[in-house]
A and B are shown apart, each in its own frame.
Chain A
Amino acid sequence: MLNVTMIELTAYALQVLLIILAIAIVVHRNNGTIIILITSFSLVTASLYIINKAPDVAIAEVAIGSAIIPLIYVISISRQREFIVLDKAMDDFIISDNQFTGVGYILLKRFTDLYHLELNITNDARLCSLGAGRDQLLCEQTNVDLIITKDEETNTYILKGKKSSVLLQKLDSMAKDYDNIEVVQFKDRDFGD
């Protein structure tokens, strides 16, 4: 143990750090923190590659592993936090008195806060102009989670979403307290082939 050089000592220290980081990534539960951990994990591996005399691999790891991949992680995790609602009714269900104080908004806000989601409401003209027949297609193919329409005759609001989604079933149980809200669940269309 006498001829241990500085570089070898650093290498051991970095390896131990790597193991700690790996354990932290495996054990930790918050995805946001894990992204930071995985970026530092990638940087530590890159420095270990350099200590192992592999600068080419280190450049590749820094450029891909700690720049592009974490960005993709960030996008994909932020997508898993949003709940997108398409408001086709466009009346005081969501916005009353130019503020987000409508009945529906309060319900949805309560729901998304409960499950740590971010509520995103749109009433984009191009999407709203699509006929009611294409609602299911819209739900399945774009990332719209919920469509709000209004039945003028019975004066009830209809919330449409996919049956396969866990979130919609939870929303269904929450909306049971309201009389004028009805939740419609689209069955998964099995194309078969």
Chain B
Amino acid sequence: MTKHFIIIILLGVLLAVFTVAMQDIEVLYNTALKSYLIEGVIPRGFVETGSRNLVTAILLDYRLFDSLFEAGILLIAVSGIIWISKHDIEEKNAQFMYDKYKTPDLFVTFSRLVYPLMLTFGFYVIVNGHLSPGGGFQGGAIVASAILILYYIDHDKETNIGLIVTVEKFLYIAILLFASLSIFTRGTYFTNVFPPTASPDVQAIYLVILNIMIGFKVALGLWAIFTAFLKEGR
């Protein structure tokens, strides 16, 4: 009990110091940042990158290097989870005497209706990432959760996890190559292929293609993670 009491006191100290620190931040913040936003990002962001959604502009252009490694984390985690979950014994997939998984019929019917809708919504989010909220990562996650519904409709489904992972790796290589195409047109890595002077509509082509590739990569990665969890040890 003393342990709980001491930790609460320690955390209270942290909270008090943070409260003091917050007052400094509020003073500093408006001077440093607001001017930069008004002068730099708001007027120039759309023209420079071709994306109305400035979050996508940052993810896919200004800080594409981060996003590549963000996708890389997913890639690593997929391979790691699959490596940890699989075993060396060839005879697997044991049938249990009573496996209690029975999805309710209502849920199956409902899922059959929702599944195409979710898939469409996912694609919409991916493709329109530069105009409206969304983008490759979010859309990919939505597509992945749509695919996961399939497992509830039909859980004897056989998934070739090796194929998914291989396609995912190839997509990642393709993303890396596509993102570095700008070395030929602009002389630098990881930015838009088209020069900043090109019209935003032309620049948007690059964003859409990159979003689609990232979206598929993320969807495949999450699908593979989920399959690995379902098949763990079986």
Contact = CB atoms under 8 A, between A and B. Distances in A.
Is A in direct contact with B (CB under 8 Å) within the complex?
A: yes
B134 interface: yes
B195 to A, nearest CB: 26
B142 A121 contact: no
Interface string B207-234: 0000000000000001001100110111
A86 B230 CA distance: 19
Given A55-B133, A56-B138, A143-B234, A63 B145 contact: yes
A126 B93 CA distance: 9
A63 B215 CA distance: 13
Interface string A42-75: 0000000000001110111001100110011001
Contacts of B232: 75, 79, 143
Interface of B: 53, 55-56, 87-89, 91-92, 94-99, 125, 133-135, 137-138, 141-142, 144-145, 148, 222, 225-226, 229-230, 232-234
A88 B217 CA distance: 43
A137 interface: yes
Nearest to B144: A68
Given A123-B97, A137-B89, A68 B229 contact: no
Given A58-B133, A122-B97, 17 more contacts: A54-B55, A56-B134, A59-B138, A60-B137, A63-B141, A64-B141, A67-B148, A71-B148, A76-B229, A79-B232, A84-B96, A120-B98, A120-B99, A122-B95, A127-B94, A142-B87, A142-B234
Contacts of A59: 125, 133-134, 138, 142
Interface string A107-135: 00000000000001111101101100010
B141 A60 contact: yes
B134 A126 contact: no
